[in-house]
Amino acid sequence: MTLSIRGATADDVVDVRHRILRKGRPRATAIFPGDERPDAHHWVAERDGAIVGVVSVLPAPMPEPPPDLAPIPGLQLRGMAILEHEQGRGIGAQLLEVVHRDLPRRMWCNARIEVVGFYARHGWEAVGPIFHIPEIGQHRRMWHP
């Protein structure tokens, strides 16, 4: 049951995103604007050839950055998702480690409230108030130096 992480395509990440982040909604909601840009980055975690986790980083400036945050992060981490039966096994941490290694630049994300602590443990900082994304839930904006 070997786990490996590799660079991927937008097509590689959509199914896991859909199953975990957009459950019960049309598959098209798991395709994000910018996924196909040449400067978009995608990774998958595979166990025995099956994709069990995904993450993407897309070019996007941080909206409403704190006034003292300079330079403003221009990359957004999006679509981090781990299949339910694989959650709690450190796959998210391994994916973040690869993202930070491959893209050692400032980035931001809209973290679901239930995973803010996960990101904080990996060096991300929460900024601004909690906000609601319709049909998805409560989030907190975070950034990584």
List CB contacts of 16: < 8 A, sequence separation 6 or more.
44, 51, 52, 53, 54, 81, 82, 83
Task: Give the residue from 88, 96, 15 showing the smallest Cα distance to 50.
Answer: 15
Q: For residues 41 and 116, what is the distance between their CA atoms, to the nearest angstrom?
A: 22
Q: Which fold has domain 3-144?
A: Aminopeptidase (3.40.630)
Q: pLDDT per residue over 9-57, tens digit each? A: 999 999 999 999 999 999 999 999 999 999 999 999 999 999 999 999 9
Whether residue 118 contacts residue 92, with contact meaning beta carbons closer than 8 Å, is answered with yes
DSSP-derived 3-state class of residue 55: strand
C-alpha triplet 64, 67, 68: angle, nearest 5° = 130
Report whether pLDDT(1) > 80: no
Q: Parse the chain into domains and list their residue ranges.
A: 3-144
**Per-residue tokens: 123:** 């060096």
pLDDT cut 70: percent of the chain above it: 100
pLDDT 10s digits, 112-122:
999 999 999 99
